[in-house]
């Protein structure tokens, strides 16, 4: 394999890259994503970023240009599944046969020159979003293209997506990515490394999400990364979500060097999305408001077509505007129960400490993370990976907050476990539900709200009533 300042690359991919000095010089000419995040923090309002990626180059250019007028702070280049799995030849073959068969933009197959055309096509910077347990080649091409933000990490981009990729492999691959970010930082080029706290996106307890991103953040910072975006997925209960977002800065102060810039990011609700446009748009607006209340620097928006598949460009633009409206001045009058938020934040931070501190207390971080997942002391609910126990059973309490019905082998204190048990206790006379019935109701949380909201409004599928979109 070729070596790019410690980044081990496939020889064929490496041979097509430009000279490293030219890459660094080009990166210096770009407006980096970190500048957008700094401005958002200074303004006290999050910027909005959509997910977007299609196979064809011209179609991708058209999509970016169609979304820019909606006012995003950052635009995405969402990568196709073949490239995510390093099947670059398959991605290239599919691209040549029919770009419409790809579920994202195959950046490696298109090449860094076309990547620069994407970056030049719009006035806002681009981020690469993918889902690769090993994204080294993709990262090298993204750098050559002039892209200054790269999502992913060795845990969050492995266990939710892959069935059998050893944690040690993904963690060491991302260690090389982070180390190259350190090389660039010393050269004056700051790459934003966003960590995907959303995980499996279904009923993820806040402390599980934050514990994973804290460990990935510590690993990245040790390699020299100087800008970290720590993402958290909207769970559904406002006080708990605001507390989790605010905890990002507290945890960063506790576990990271002050020289590392840290920006909280909110992923709008990633679970089963409402089917009606009116309720879906209400949830999108609520996500923007939540991001502002929680002090996020960025919010990743959803669309009113989310329940039906990949959104059309117009729907995505509407989603950007809806999230921005929720984060805007119009809703500045909204206040929440700060005492309740503070209590949630206290317990979230305590739970994260009980998960993270034993791992950090061991000698080498990567073997310690591997050992913790192997023993179930770290775990992710609903993970399909054989490298996670997936024994954690989350459940919503009566307020909608996500609690631990079964913490598996997570090393929580008695006080933490008692609190979750108490919050999940039902009043006398409450009808008993089977675990399957309870899980189904919790997953359908916003659908049930929608049903009550639209009691007399029939639901339509996308094909049944396209004018609704």
Q: Which three-class secondary structure state does DSSP give residue 136?
A: helix
Please give the Cα distance from 59 to 72 (Å, whole number).
Answer: 19
pLDDT tens string 327-361: 999 999 999 999 999 999 999 999 999 999 999 99
Of 83, 118, 133, 134, give the one whose Cα is nearest residue 104.
83
Give the list of residues 6+ apart from residue 72 with CB closer than 8 angstroms, or none.
Answer: 47, 48, 49, 50, 124, 320
Angle among Cα 155, 388, 149 to the nearest 5 degrees reads 15
pTM, rounded to two decimals: 0.95
Of 233, 268, 238, 264, give the one whose Cα is nearest residue 250.
264
pLDDT tens string 157-178: 999 999 999 999 999 999 999 9
350 is written with which tokens? 């305590």
228 is written with which tokens? 């970290």
Please give the Cα distance from 261 to 225 (Å, whole number).
Answer: 9
- Predicted local confidence at residue 448, as pLDDT: 87
Task: Give me the active site residues, please.
Answer: 84, 151
Please give the Cα distance from 29 to 42 (Å, whole number).
Answer: 23
Please give the Cα distance from 259 to 39 (Å, whole number).
Answer: 18
Give the list of residues 6+ apart from residue 318 with CB closer than 8 angstroms, or none.
Answer: 70, 281, 303, 304
117-121, 194-198, 308-312: least confidently modelled range: 308-312
pLDDT at 312 over 70: yes
Q: Detail the DSSP E strand segments found in 137-245.
A: 149-151, 192-195, 227-233
pLDDT at 363 over 90: no
What DSSP string describes 359-397? HHTSSSHHHHHHHHHHHTSS--TT---TTS----EEEE-
């Amino acid at each position: 394999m070729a070596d790019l300042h410690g980044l081990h690359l496939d020889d064929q991919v490496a041979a097509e890259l430009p000279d490293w000095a030219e890459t660094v010089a080009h990166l210096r000419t770009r407006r980096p994503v970190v500048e957008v995040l700094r401005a958002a923090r200074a303004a006290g309002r999050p910027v909005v970023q959509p997910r977007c990626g299609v196979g064809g180059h011209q179609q991708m250019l058209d999509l970016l240009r169609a979304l820019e007028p909606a006012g995003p702070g950052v635009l995405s280049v969402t990568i196709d599944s073949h490239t995510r799995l390093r099947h670059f030849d398959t991605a290239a073959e599919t691209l040549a046969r029919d770009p419409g068969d790809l579920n994202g933009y195959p950046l490696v197959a298109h090449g860094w020159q076309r990547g620069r055309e994407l970056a030049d096509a719009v006035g806002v910077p681009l981020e690469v979003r993918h889902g690769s347990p090993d994204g080294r080649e993709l990262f090298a091409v993204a750098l050559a293209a002039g892209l200054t933000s790269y999502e992913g990490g060795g845990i969050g981009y492995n266990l939710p997506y892959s069935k059998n990729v050893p944690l040690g492999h993904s963690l060491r691959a991302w260690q090389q990515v982070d180390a190259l970010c350190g090389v660039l930082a010393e050269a004056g080029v700051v790459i934003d490394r966003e960590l995907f706290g959303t995980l499996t996106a279904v009923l993820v307890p806040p402390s599980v999400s934050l514990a994973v991103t804290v460990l990935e953040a510590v690993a990245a910072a040790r390699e020299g990364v100087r800008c970290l975006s720590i993402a958290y997925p909207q769970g559904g209960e406002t006080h708990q979500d605001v507390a989790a977002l605010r905890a990002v800065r507290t945890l960063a102060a506790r576990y990271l060097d002050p020289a590392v810039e840290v920006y909280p990011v909110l992923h709008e609700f990633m679970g089963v999305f409402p089917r009606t446009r009116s309720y879906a748009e209400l949830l999108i607006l609520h996500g923007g408001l939540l991001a502002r209340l929680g002090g996020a620097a960025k919010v990743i928006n959803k669309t009113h077509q989310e329940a039906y598949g990949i959104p059309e460009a117009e729907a995505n633009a509407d989603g950007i505007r809806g999230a921005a409206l929720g984060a805007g001045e119009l809703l500045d009058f909204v206040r929440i129960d700060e005492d309740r938020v503070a209590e949630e934040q206290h317990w979230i931070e305590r739970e994260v400490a009980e998960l993270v501190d034993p791992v950090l207390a061991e000698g080498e971080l990567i073997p310690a993370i591997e050992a913790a997942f192997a023993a179930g002391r770290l775990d992710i609910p609903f993970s399909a990976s054989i490298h996670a126990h997936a024994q954690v059973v989350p459940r919503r309490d009566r307020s909608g907050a996500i609690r631990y019905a079964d913490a598996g082998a997570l090393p929580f204190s008695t006080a933490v476990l008692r609190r979750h048990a108490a919050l999940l206790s039902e009043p006398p006379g409450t009808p008993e539900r089977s675990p399957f019935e309870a899980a189904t109701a919790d997953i359908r949380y916003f659908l049930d709200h929608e049903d009550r909201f639209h009691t007399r409004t029939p639901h339509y599928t996308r094909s049944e009533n396209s004018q609704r979109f």
